[in-house]
Amino acid sequence: MVNFLNVVLALPLLALWIVALVDLAQRGDPGRSRRLLWAALVLFVPYIGVFLYLFLRPRAPLDATIENSRADDLVDEVEAVLRRRNAGQTEPAEARREIETLFHTATAV
């Protein structure tokens, strides 16, 4: 009975431990020293370290959040150009130049 209870309690914690280590390895936002510190905390203080990491880590890397908002803005601007073209307010060649300019400025940043 005790062995079954140990397994039932250990499996979810093992899963969380693996999730924390995989997430830590895949994230690019913390520096190398911070990543090593988190890994040491997760490995050597398994229960507390896992929960601390999962609750205190940033939800998304800041760079990815900024890139996603820029991409959303670009999509909105391209859609606006296409709406004007489809409504006959802009010639197709002019719309194409506007879209090329939008992509050029987005990739130049």
* pTM metric for this prediction: 0.48
**SS in 3 state form for 65-103?**
HHHHHHHHHHHHHHHHHHHHHHCCCCCHHHHHHHHHHHH
pLDDT of the chain, 109 residues: tens digit per residue: 567 777 787 888 888 888 888 888 877 666 778 888 888 888 888 788 888 888 887 666 545 555 566 777 778 888 888 888 889 898 888 988 888 888 777 776 5
Domain chopping of the chain, boundaries: 2-56, 62-108
Question: What pLDDT, on the 0 to 100 scale, is given for residue 51?
Answer: 85
